[in-house]
């Protein structure tokens, strides 16, 4: 496991963003873990999270020209990631959308740089894929090219069919989904940490039951 992926899992556990227990998912499944990116809610946490996003993007090697943050959760993520990339010598523009079009001032549905070139979408997770679909439609309507989606954690969990939400996005739109960490990275972390055997067993059982065959 790449060191930054393991560091990210540890960071999420320390921030109580990643918790263990019994949690009911939207699909009605009882999950032994819960990931709530909304709890990265102070300056230090957002700075560190943004640095992890930047590391994942650069490690992926996906070429891009700008970042896009879908409202609302993607807005601070895109802004923070743009700052983290700039600190590493990669200064790129970013923009985000409004939920409702503005008919005064500068108007329009997006704020920030104009959508153009290869656009990387920054979000927290992919569940139903609605946010990704809307983002891709908006980017294409502006004449730009969506080139990938970056998320914090890929649960690697089957949806209605045999594919995960991330795999469905990759299949439907022919763009890569980059994650800072995956469920398999979480299992690697639990395996290496003392006192996590019970959580390891529960997460592995969940992976065996609901996980996709290939990450």
pLDDT at 65 over 50: yes
Model confidence pLDDT, tens digit, residues 66-87: 999 999 899 999 999 999 999 9
Which residue in the list 24, 102, 191, 213 is annotated as catalytic?
102
Query: Model's pTM, two decimal places?
Result: 0.92
Residue 102 among the catalytic residues: yes
Model confidence pLDDT, tens digit, residues 37-64: 999 999 999 999 999 999 999 999 999 9
Residue range 126-135: mean pLDDT, rounded:
83
3-state per-residue secondary structure call for the chain: CCHHHHHHHHHHHHCCCEEEEEEECCCCCEEEEEECHHHCCCHHHHHHHHHHHHHHHHHHCCCCCEEEECCCCHHHHHHHHHHHHHHCCCCCCEEEEEEEEECCCCCEEEEECCCCCEEEEECCCCCCCHHHHHHHHHHHHCCCEEEEEEEEEECCEECCCCCEHHHHHHHHHCCCEEEEEEHHHHHHHHHHCCCCHHHHHHHHHHHHHHECCCC
Does domain 3-210 fall under CATH 3.40.50.2020? My reply is yes
Which residue in the list 16, 26, 99, 104 is annotated as catalytic?
104
């Amino acid at each position: 496991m790449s060191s930054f992926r393991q560091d990210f899992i540890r960071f999420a556990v320390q921030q109580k963003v990643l918790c263990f227990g019994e949690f009911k998912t939207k699909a009605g499944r009882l999950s032994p873990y819960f990931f709530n990116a909304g709890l990265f809610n102070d300056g230090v946490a957002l700075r560190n999270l943004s640095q992890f996003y930047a590391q994942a993007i650069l490690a992926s090697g996906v070429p891009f020209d700008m970042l896009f943050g879908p409202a609302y959760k993607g807005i601070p993520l895109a802004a923070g990631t743009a700052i983290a990339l700039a600190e590493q010598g990669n200064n790129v523009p970013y923009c985000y959308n409004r939920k409702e079009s503005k008919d005064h001032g500068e108007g329009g549905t997006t704020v920030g740089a104009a959508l153009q070139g290869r656009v990387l979408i920054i979000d927290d997770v992919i569940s139903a894929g609605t946010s990704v679909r809307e983002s891709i439609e908006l980017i294409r309507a502006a004449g730009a090219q969506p080139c990938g989606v970056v998320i914090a954690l890929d649960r690697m969990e089957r949806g209605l069919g045999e594919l995960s939400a991330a795999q469905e996005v990759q299949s439907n739109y022919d763009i890569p989904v980059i994650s800072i960490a995956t469920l398999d990275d979480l299992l690697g972390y639990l395996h290496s940490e003392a006192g996590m055997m019970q959580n390891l067993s529960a997460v592995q059982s969940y992976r065996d039951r609901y996980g996709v065959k290939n990450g």
